[in-house]
Amino acid sequence: MGQVIVDNIDLLEPNLRIPGKKPVGQVKIDWSHPLARGLRAAILYYPDIRDLVTGQVLTKVGSPTKSTNNYTFDGTADGASLQIDLSNTRDITVAIGMDISAYNNTDDLAAEFTPNFGASNGILIDPNSGAPYTGLFQLAMNPGVVSSAGYPRPSVGYHDYCFAFINKFSGLGLIVDGKSIAASATSPLVPVANYANSTLYINCRNNASLFASSINRYLFIWDRNVWTNYGTEISRDPYQFLIPQ
């Protein structure tokens, strides 16, 4: 009788063999994977809104609705938050899997790091930008001074995003579904300080206002620039550093 080989990845998490396919079961971080280096948050939305780096369940605002491998934020009263220390770096990379059904121009935020990025060394991800980037997808960062850019919005629906907030203006960047998006408008300044030890707010500002409506699958944050060399790859296959639990 021949040897029977049991492949635990196939049994426990078959989708991890398909690039870009979202996991359906319990997973953990493969810390030996090159893209795990510098990972400061790895937020998944099943079976709860949990950070795989710390094991923490995020603080919820309102009543985000759980569905299969996703959480829906209603755009009115829902949000979530997590404490993250990014005070050792001026370079941040963020990846988000998000489904937006409609845009507006009222600064409904997908994410903000620090209670007010412009006052406390954080970052801003605003697909619903008002002025000065009305009708655009705004990214902004404040490692000492505020730099910002507005990008053409992707079509409504689900997309895999990878964002750069690194230590020079050219490091602000947006990749969507593996394709780099050129900025339509910019306000460049040279960063002069590190980011903060503060709170990441998802679909809200300071757990209270500027809520956005979306269906979220994941949010990953690195305290280094992986965007330049790996942003396209991350956007195409965001789960590659995860393994079955």
Residue 6 predicted with pLDDT over 90:
no
For range 221-241, the mean pLDDT: 94
Cα gap 240→224, rounded to integer Å: 18
Q: What is the pLDDT of residue 167?
A: 81
- Residue with the two structure tokens 């400061």: 40
For domain 38-239, the CATH class is: mainly beta
Q: DSSP class of residue 66?
A: E
Residue 3 predicted with pLDDT over 50:
no
Q: What is the pLDDT of residue 205?
A: 94
% the chain with pLDDT above 90? 75
Q: What is the pLDDT of residue 47?
A: 80
Binned at pLDDT 50, 70 and 90, residue 9 comes out as very low
Binned at pLDDT 50, 70 and 90, residue 4 comes out as very low
Binned at pLDDT 50, 70 and 90, residue 5 comes out as very low
Span 76-122, pLDDT tens digits: 999 999 999 999 999 999 999 999 999 999 999 999 999 999 899 99
Q: Which of 47 and 169 is assigned the larger pLDDT? A: 47
Q: What is the pLDDT of residue 7?
A: 35
Binned at pLDDT 50, 70 and 90, residue 221 comes out as very high
**Which range among 13-27, 124-138, 151-165 shows the weakest confidence by mean pLDDT?**
13-27
Residue 42 predicted with pLDDT over 90:
yes
Q: What is the pLDDT of residue 77?
A: 94
Number of Cβ within a 10 Å radius of residue 104: 14
Q: In terms of Cα–Cα distance, which of 90, 94, 140 is closest to 119? A: 140
Mean of all residue pLDDT scores within the chain = 89
Q: What is the pLDDT of residue 41?
A: 98
CB-based burial label for 242 (10 Å; 0-12, 13-18, 19+): buried
Question: Which regions of the chain does DSSP assign to beta strands (E)?
Answer: 27-29, 39-44, 50-51, 59-61, 65-67, 70-74, 79-85, 92-100, 111-113, 123-126, 137-141, 147-151, 157-165, 173-176, 179-181, 185-187, 197-202, 213-222, 242-244
Among the residues of 106-241, which ranges form H helices? 227-236
Model pTM?
0.91
Span 15-39, pLDDT tens digits: 655 556 667 678 899 999 999 999 9
Cα gap 133→62, rounded to integer Å: 29
Cα gap 170→105, rounded to integer Å: 25
CA-based max dimension of the chain: 71
Query: Is residue 165 within 8 Å of 123, Cβ to Cβ?
Result: yes
Binned at pLDDT 50, 70 and 90, residue 244 comes out as confident
Q: What is the pLDDT of residue 150?
A: 96
Cα gap 213→110, rounded to integer Å: 8
